Amino acid sequence: MSLIQDLIPLLGQPHVLTGPDMARYARDWMGGYQGTPLAVARPGSTAEVAATVKLAADHNIPVIPISGNTGLTGATYTEGGLLLSTERLNRIREVRPASRLAIVEAGVILSHLHDAAADHGLYFPLWFGARGSAMVGGVLSTNAGGSNVLRYGSTRALCLGLEVVLPDGRVLNLMSELHKDNSGYDLKNLFIGAEGTLGIITAAVMKLVPAPRAHATATLAARSLPDALELLNRLQAATGGLVEAFEYMPADYMARLERVRPDLGIPFPAHRACTLLVEIAATAPALTAETAQGTLPLTDLLEDTLAQLMDEGLILDAQIARSTTQRAAMWARREAAAEIGAAVKPMIDSDIALPLDKVESFLTRIGPRLAQIAPGAETVTVAHLGDGNLHFSVYPGDPSKALYDRVIHAIEDIVQDLGGSFSAEHGVGLSKLNSMARRKDPVALDLMRTLKQAIDPANLMNPGKVIPPKNTAPEDPAKDPTE
Considering the entire predicted model, what is its pTM? 0.94
> In this model, does residue 477 exceed pLDDT 70?
no
> pLDDT (tens digit, 9 = 90+) per residue, 82-95?
999 999 999 999 99
Name residue 293's amino acid.
Answer: Q
Per-domain boundaries in the chain:
2-85, 92-210, 214-338, 344-454
> In this model, does residue 378 exceed pLDDT 60?
yes
Strand, coil or helix: what is 182? coil
Specify the CATH number for 2-85; select among 3.40.50.300, 3.30.200.20, 3.90.700.10, 3.30.43.10. 3.30.43.10
Over residues 383-408, mean pLDDT:
95
DSSP letter at 143? T
Task: State residue 483's pLDDT score.
Answer: 40
Over residues 304-333, mean pLDDT:
96
Cα 245 from Cα 399, distance rounded (Å): 35
**By CB neighbour count within 10 A (0-12 exposed, 13-18 middle, 19+ buried), where does 143 fall?**
buried
Contacts of 164 (CB under 8 A, 6+ apart): 171, 172, 174, 191, 198, 199, 200, 201, 202
Over residues 372-377, mean pLDDT:
95
Task: State residue 252's pLDDT score.
Answer: 93
- Same topology between domain 214-338 and domain 344-454: yes
> pLDDT (tens digit, 9 = 90+) per residue, 261-297?
999 999 998 778 999 999 999 999 999 999 999 899 9
- Chain mean pLDDT for the chain: 95
Predicted confidence band at 476 (pLDDT cuts at 50, 70, 90)? Answer: low
> pLDDT (tens digit, 9 = 90+) per residue, 463-475?
999 999 987 655 6
Task: State residue 470's pLDDT score.
Answer: 87
Over residues 50-54, mean pLDDT:
98
Predicted confidence band at 481 (pLDDT cuts at 50, 70, 90)? Answer: very low
Predicted confidence band at 1 (pLDDT cuts at 50, 70, 90)? Answer: low
> In this model, does residue 32 exceed pLDDT 90?
no
> pLDDT (tens digit, 9 = 90+) per residue, 218-229?
999 999 999 999
Task: State residue 478's pLDDT score.
Answer: 54
Question: Which residues sit opposite 135 in a β-bridge?
Answer: 109
Cα 452 from Cα 352, distance rounded (Å): 25
Among 4-13, 449-458, 469-478, where is mean pLDDT lowest?
469-478
Going across the sheet that includes 378-384, the strands are 315-320, 214-222, 274-282, 243-250, 378-384, 389-395, 348-353
Give the whole-number percent of the chain exceeding pLDDT 90.
92
Predicted confidence band at 479 (pLDDT cuts at 50, 70, 90)? Answer: very low
Question: What CATH code would you report for 344-454?
Answer: 3.30.70.2740
The secondary element (H helix, E strand) that includes residue 64 is strand 63-66
Specify the CATH number for 92-210; select among 2.30.110.10, 3.20.20.70, 3.40.50.2000, 3.30.465.10. 3.30.465.10
DSSP assignment of 273-322, as one string? SEEEEEEEEE--HHHHSPPTTS--HHHHHHHHHHHHHHHTTSEEEEEE--
> pLDDT (tens digit, 9 = 90+) per residue, 105-164?
999 999 999 999 999 999 999 999 899 999 999 999 999 999 999 999 999 999 999 999
Task: State residue 172's pLDDT score.
Answer: 98
CATH class of the domain at 214-338:
alpha beta
